[in-house]
Amino acid sequence: MNSSISPELHTDPRLHAGVDVYAVAGNPISHSKSPFIHQAFAAQAKQKMHYGRLQAELPSFAQTAKAFFAAGGKGMNVTIPFKLDARNFAEVLTSRAQLAGAVNTLWIKDGKIHGDNTDGAGLVRDLLAQGIALHESRILLLGAGGAARGVIGPLLEQAPKCLVIANRSSTKADELVSLYADLAAAQEVALESRTLLDLEDSVVTPHPFDLVINATAAGLEDVSPLTAKAVSNIFVPSSFAYDMVYGKTTPLMQQALQRGARVSDGLGMLVEQAADAFLLWRGSELAAAIDPRAILAQLRS
């Protein structure tokens, strides 16, 4: 048995003869809720499949993924820190994955590895399901790494009034503004970059935001990317703060709550991006058979 596939996590396709095998790859991965979510979709849509966790070691994502598909694996979700590696591993990319430069869903078709990014669509669907209006809204996206890259396109497609990308260092945010300039222009969205420090300056940041999305890794580290000064410029009671981290009230969510704003963690995004991956793998005709909001309610209970 190839040592790149962890047999204890039951992800080796050869252990599941006659059943299509899928996995989520990341590091760390033991906390992942993706197996629960995908098995729940499979039960709803009456699909016979197995979905496990695959811990890839840091320098060898490609080796792990290659071994999984070579052994008969059908599809893979990819999470922190491998979304850029997955983009490089895929041989065929959807246009949204190409633009984002990050992949969270892989599958094999006609002998080729395909890659897509369903994160942004998942975020947008979760926000809309929570009653958050995106059209004509003022959105602040915190962070300019892999997590932020995946959601910019789908946010722009909702035609907000403006999308400000703020990052600790300006270079990466500037790059993203250049990358998405054409789509922003086509959607008539004012797309701008800021540093996190700029957010403290009420001249540079004169208006509060309707929606603030935290796509930095700060939530994982239990710190907020926003200083108290920035918080007072950004949030008003009608604001909504969304943290892509799930399972806790993050420091950013606490700051927003203190300003009277509403908040959400990223559990709904996790379920919704998984729904898109499931439909890519098993067929879009199953859309009517799955109920992501029911699975989300189960996870929250």
Residues binding ligand ATR (CB under 6 A): 80, 83, 143-148, 167-169, 172, 216-218, 221, 223, 225
Smallest separation (angstroms) from ligand ATR to the CB of 74: 25
Residue 2 neighbours by CB under 8 Å, 6+ apart = 12, 67, 70, 71
Whose tokens are 């499949």? That residue is 49
Among 33, 83, 109, 112, the one annotated catalytic: 83
Cα separation of 12 and 61, whole Å? 15
CB of 207 to ligand ATR, least distance (A): 22
- Give catalytic status of residue 83 as yes or no: yes
**Cβ-based nearer residue to ligand ATR, 42 or 245:** 245
Number of residue whose CB is nearest ligand ATR: 145
Query: Whole-number minimum distance, CB 152 to ligand ATR, in Å?
Result: 12
Residue 196: both structure tokens together: 């996190």
Kindly tell me which of 73 and 266 has the beta carbon lying closer to ligand ATR: 266
CB of 176 to ligand ATR, least distance (A): 10
Which residues are paired to 26 by β-bridges? 55
Closest contact distance (angstroms) between CB of 229 and ligand ATR is 15
What positions carry a catalytic annotation?
A: 83
